[in-house]
Amino acid sequence: MKTIKIIGPKFDLKELTDVFNFSFSDYVIKFVVTEESLSQKIQGDGVSMDHSIGIYNENEEENKLEGFILLAPDNFKNPTKLYNSATGVIPTARGNKLIERSFSQMRPIFKENGIDSIVLEVIQTNPRAIKVYENCGFKITRELHSYKGDLNKDSLLKYLNNNNENEIIIEKVEKLTDDFINFIENENGDQKQTRMNPSWSNTNQVIQREFNMGFNKIWIAKDNKTNKIIGFLSIHSQSQRIRQVYVTPTFRNKNVATKLFYTMSNEFQSINFNASNIEEGYENLKNFFNKRIGLDFWVSQFEMELIL
């Protein structure tokens, strides 16, 4: 008998890791986790097992996990939105509309507890998953693009050699200061040029959580004249996934981001990086990752939202 219920904090990480990998064994993109990397994802995304859903095969002899929907609240005190960090069902348990049943069963419970919506990302070349989520009531809200490949350091250096490097200071962040947090939280508040809204796994909250746990590295750019922060770069240090790069509009087209990336790349042995979830319409960012630093287009996703 299949039972759908909240996973809860007393879960078995090894069992979840095994089910995760079995569920993604035939996924459109190769995706394998270890107990350590899954634990980092759970912590980094802010996944709450008190909100996450488990699908179990229960009988008198065992209570076996066969599927999961890992959910992260926007805050832990009074959450109003959940992020679907990962969803999977093992191949041998599919065909029973378990994801649809899970959302249908938990929807009124989440709503009663103050949750207004659930958001997720799904790869565009996975029509089966898109259909499942549409059947649950999710609607597409925006299109996101990802890039990966070897960073072209020679190209970056060429741009830097043609400019006065002394105008910009690059510093590695050793501690999350009030100045830095104020910059990432409040920058662009009254600028005419809008700032891209990061996808959930690249938000400021995730960056700060990862940094405090020791697997996110951050560099800031400062104006040499005023010593004020004018940009920053954040990267997940183990996967080498770029979380965010941002430069104040008045300092753009001055190779600030280029200098941030060149400085950052000198700390890594591998030059293979990836940048996920660049929103459609932000051509400057897409061109920077593709043409300036040399990353290749990788995959496109839809961000989808379920209003409860």
pLDDT in tens, 205-233: 999 999 999 999 999 999 999 999 999 99
CA dihedral of 207, 244, 267, 208, whole degrees rounded to 10: -10
Nearest by Cα to 56 from 12, 2, 19: 2
- From the list 225, 215, 232, the residue with the least C-alpha distance to 179 is 232
pLDDT score for 109? 95
Single out the residue of 106, 114, 136 nearest to residue 4, CA to CA.
106
Q: What is the pLDDT of residue 163?
A: 60
Q: Please count the other Cβ atoms lying within 10 Å of the Cβ belonging to residue 296.
A: 11
For residues 1 and 103, give the distance between their C-alpha atoms in angstroms, rounded to a whole number.
Answer: 18
What pLDDT is attached to residue 192?
Answer: 46
What the block records as the tokens of 35 is 């107990």
Question: Does the pTM of the predicted model rise above 0.85?
Answer: yes
Q: Which amino acid is at 74?
A: D
pLDDT of residue 179: 94
Per-residue confidence of the chain (308 residues) as pLDDT tens digits? 889 999 999 999 999 999 999 999 988 777 899 999 999 899 989 999 999 999 999 876 678 999 999 999 998 889 999 999 999 999 999 988 999 999 999 999 999 999 999 999 999 999 999 999 999 999 999 999 999 999 988 888 888 876 656 789 999 999 999 999 999 988 654 454 467 899 998 999 999 999 999 999 999 999 999 999 999 999 999 899 999 999 999 998 889 999 999 999 999 989 899 999 999 999 999 999 999 999 999 999 999 999 99
d(CA 11, CA 35): 13
Strand order in the sheet with 241-247: 2-6, 53-58, 63-73, 81-89, 117-123, 296-307, 139-150, 272-279, 241-247, 229-236, 216-223, 168-172
Alpha-carbon Rg for the chain in angstroms: 21
Per residue in 257-301, pLDDT (tens digit) is 999 999 999 999 898 999 999 999 999 999 999 999 999 999 999
Residue 95 pLDDT: 86
Q: What pLDDT score does 227 carry? A: 92
